[in-house]
Amino acid sequence: MTKQSSYVALLRGINVGKSARLSMAPLREALTARGVEAVSTVLQSGNVIINNWTKSAFDLAPLIELTLAEEFSITARCLIRSRAQILELVKTNPLAPRADVDTLLVVHFCDPALTSSDLAKLSVTSLSSEDVTVRHGVLFQWCAKGISNSPVLSPQLEKQLGVAVTARNWRTVNKIAELLSVE
């Protein structure tokens, strides 16, 4: 019997602002038509849950990126995380309990995954080590004064470290984890 695994595909820049607008129902249908079974989505921000995937995880991102391009004329990076990776991330949040407002804690998912030494390479003077940390290959950012009053790190991570980045707030990460927990 082939092992089945669950993943989340985090799509970069979907339904943010006016560009890359995409309804999730047609995306689910397009992915199902391409052989991706048990597809669900979380919110409208490009979070795709894939259950019962029997192929390599490395096949998912190119398949989803190709589907976005061919079916919707959208070019977007797709970062894949496994069920185990997301559940471990939620279980070991390094900024809890200090980061007590789930919409003010931002998780920056990066490809390739970040290391602690990568954080030292960032030239952002307004960052405190209490507000930013790397764990499980992602950067956690606590925005205590609000999202709009905190440095926007994704573009800096991309420019300074050459990684692909997509960010989600902690509330969304927990919703993803809840869906991945159901088997």
Which pLDDT belongs to residue 17? Answer: 67
- Give the residues across from 5 on adjacent strands: 53
Q: Which CATH number does the domain housing residue 45 bear? A: 3.30.70.1280
Q: Which amino acid is at 93?
A: N
Which pLDDT belongs to residue 108? Answer: 92
| Residue 43 token pair | 């919110």
Which residue among 70, 85, 100 closes a domain? 85
- Provide the 8-state DSSP code for 38: S
Measured distance CA(160)–CA(177) in Å, rounded:
30
Pair 81, 14 in one domain: yes
Length of the chain: 183
- Give the residues across from 134 on adjacent strands: 139
Pair 97, 151 in one domain: yes
Measured distance CA(68)–CA(41) in Å, rounded:
15
Q: Mean pLDDT for each 10-residue chunk of the chain (183 residues)?
A: 77 74 85 83 81 82 94 91 93 87 91 85 65 88 85 81 90 92 68
Starting at the earlier edge strand, list the strands of the sheet with 78-82.
39-42, 47-53, 5-11, 78-82
Measured distance CA(162)–CA(134) in Å, rounded:
16
Phi first, then psi, for residue 55 (nearest 5°) are -95, -175
